[in-house]
Chains A and B, each alone.
Chain A
């Protein structure tokens, strides 16, 4: 079964610093990968997705992620953190097959210090 691993549960950065949130996947074939963001008391929103086109994917709010098959990784980055980036971030993988389902990682909480 396809799965994703998000190491750690909390990341804290200073405003203006680089944001790096890690995600590794397990799959025998290149999967579809996603990053979702959840702001407090809200549902999840799609940040970006990888669907076997370009390996460097740009998303909303200045975030991007790079698919690295050799490392089975899909880490999320943003060059300069903003206070409004404080949220919980989920990596997800889509199962293959006609009735594919989305499996989420456990999530990482990002805090941004002034």
Chain B
């Protein structure tokens, strides 16, 4: 059972570089989301999607872009990385009722 798969697990970027964090789920979930986790701040919602072709901003969307061309994939793009984006990123998905989120194992990103 693959569940929610995130790649890469670790990444180091220089300020100004761009990259895409990949997220894929094989549970046919309509809802997908991206969170960032920082010490003492819990998890904060970056962007979310309620289905293919539909995305919306969460609590901390600035500096990040998303798209949802298929039900399975929900990539997160950093167009110009900044040190403030150093964090652990989690992708999560759920069925339409949103009662249980399934999380990926996370991507630890460092921006120098």
Instruction: Report the bound CA distance from A9 to B99 in whole Å.
Output: 26
A88 to chain B, nearest CB (A): 9
Instruction: Report the bound CA distance from A67 to B35 in whole Å.
Output: 26
Instruction: Report the bound CA distance from A94 to B92 in whole Å.
Output: 14
Chain A, interface residues (CB within 8 Å), range: 20 to 34
A40 to chain B, nearest CB (A): 11
Instruction: Please choose the segment from A12-20, A68-76, A78-86, A100-108 that sits at the chain B interface, where 4 or more of its residues have CB less than 8 A away.
Output: A100-108
B3 to chain A, nearest CB (A): 9
- How many B residues, CB 8 Å from partner? 24
Instruction: Report the bound CA distance from A107 to B48 in whole Å.
Output: 21
CB within 8 Å of B: which residues of A? Answer: 9, 32, 36, 41-46, 49, 51, 90, 94, 99-107
Select which of A41, A45, A103, A106 is within 8 A of B41 by beta carbon. A106
- CB <8 Å contact, A99 and B50: yes
- CB <8 Å contact, B58 and A49: no
- CB <8 Å contact, B42 and A42: no
Instruction: Report the bound CA distance from A102 to B103 in whole Å.
Output: 13
**B22-44 CB contact bits vs A (8 Å, 1 = yes)?**
00000000000101000011111
